[in-house]
Amino acid sequence: MAHLVLHPLDFEVLHADNIIRPGWLAGLYRHQWLTLLRLDQGLVEPGWSRDVTEAQFDACALRCGRTLKDRQKVTWRWTGFNFGVDLVMVHSRRQISLRRNVRQELPLLISQANSRDVIYRSSSGLTAVQLARGQEVRVLTLDEAATYPLLLAKLSSNSKHAPRIV
């Protein structure tokens, strides 16, 4: 259910469709709001990202796919999710990189925290990194044998501690 309310438009659609009773969403709204406040104030457990198990990650993941049609350089972003973490992905020269974007013209919409924990999964398993504002990390180097099109996915979730972003 938490994945139904990751963006303000999601709330509007849920209410307009009137499929789910508003009262059923009250606990979800509270959880999302408290998670946002904890993150914004830096009140998350230190090291939470190192303690995430594969099972927890799989149970809480939201999958959003992207298809890379060929070897050309492609840049894309996933915004509006993960409590203000603006992630930019880059595919160039058979490498995939992840950058935490911080745009100064939108200071109230994007987290300005000095660093944010990010978890991603690649063929080597779960990897936790701490991204500073504007920092970029290489996530994956594609094998020469890899053929296009390639399907990539971003996985994110909300826990009682902090969001997990992949």
The pLDDT > 90 percentage for the chain reads 6
In a domain, 50, yes or no: yes
The length of the chain is 166
pLDDT at 67 over 80: yes
**Which H or E run includes 55?**
helix 54-60
pLDDT at residue 160 in the model: 39
In a domain, 154, yes or no: yes
* Residue 166 CB coordination number (10 Å): 22
In a domain, 39, yes or no: no
DSSP string, 132-149: ETT-EEEEEE--TT--SS
pLDDT at 82 over 70: no
Whether pTM > 0.85 for this model: the answer is no
Q: What is the extent of the structural domain holding 147?
A: 46-165
In a domain, 73, yes or no: yes
Domain count along the chain: 1
Q: What is the pLDDT of residues 10-31, one digit of tens each?
A: 778 888 998 888 888 888 888 8
In the predicted model, what is the mean pLDDT of the chain?
76
Instruction: Give the count of alpha carbons within 13 A of 27, CB side only.
Output: 3
Q: CB–CB of 98/85 below 8 Å? A: no
